[in-house]
Structure 1
């Protein structure tokens, strides 16, 4: 029985219809469980949705813990290690706000509402149930070195651009953090316009920064797209 439970919740195969149904069911429940986050007031129907979804997640968590030795393959030690695995932590965080009960009159009510926002972590559970998301996850793992290199290049660019603009136009940027914020916005070509240079030298640096930013921002997209197409071909 434990083996069958493990196959249903953790090991979806092409011919296992029950496992596929379970995957689809869990994805539907995950998205339904996020509905209460779209409302400020706690309507009765929303509370019911939250409690039912939390109950289903608790059962799912217990089953996975119950079959942890088949997943981790470390014998009885698996039952101790499983709660500290990444996905188990995400599961626990997604459940915790729903079982947290505080009196509405307590001063900690705001803390309770803040904790409730952790339910958005439920969306991360869809990684288990979507093959397309698993493909993207594999692409990110295989392209990790390239993405880290591009990320390091972006950080270096931001720091250099920030230092340059901070010294070229100190009147427009009161602190180095303001310059870093400007450099980040320029890198992403967002351009909020709340902080900007006013001198000719500063504007020239901004134009150069925007061109460099376009090139750096395009690199991760190209790397991920190439990796995705390669992964699709392998599949």
Structure 2
């Protein structure tokens, strides 16, 4: 085997494979959340500068697969409203990913996941529809979080839930937005030279079977499990994983 070709470490795979299965079960059920679930655990065995580009590639494959299946129900005008701000936000987030020290990134990710989980567990009253101009705020914030942590899907979801009423349109449009977001992220990391690292590409190849299995299980569960109850369990898991990451850094 050539000297530059390094297979992923066994410990990394023992942590990453089951973690990715669970993460893509979540993705298959709610359409986002891969990095929120997996990154706090993967950050214990891999640097975030490896985790985020690797998950960007697996998300790219997963979102394109879902996008082909749901494309007929996409509300294209909402996608077009979000894309310009997503591009700007993604460029800023990609720069921050390589400019900010690793311990600081780990702490920020942990705090971010904990706050997200606490917000999800908090009871919420129905909210009024959003004006179209808010696409710049939600698109930009989602772009930054997507490139920085691979975790912008929930931001786009918040926007679309207050712009659209048809659940099928919401799911399809969110999938289209995430497809574009993952394409932007992969493009930025490609330009930055991140994917010229053979070890990173081998890691992604090793994780693809876990991604496929997780998506399959997630799609099957959506036919049987109440989404509200599932999300409560998900937020509880996120609270624990995010808290563990903060504890490790501090």
Question: What TM-score does the superposition give when structure 1 sets the normalisation length?
Answer: 0.27
Structure of greater Rg: 1
Which structure is higher in RCO with an 8 Å CA cutoff and minimum separation 6? 2
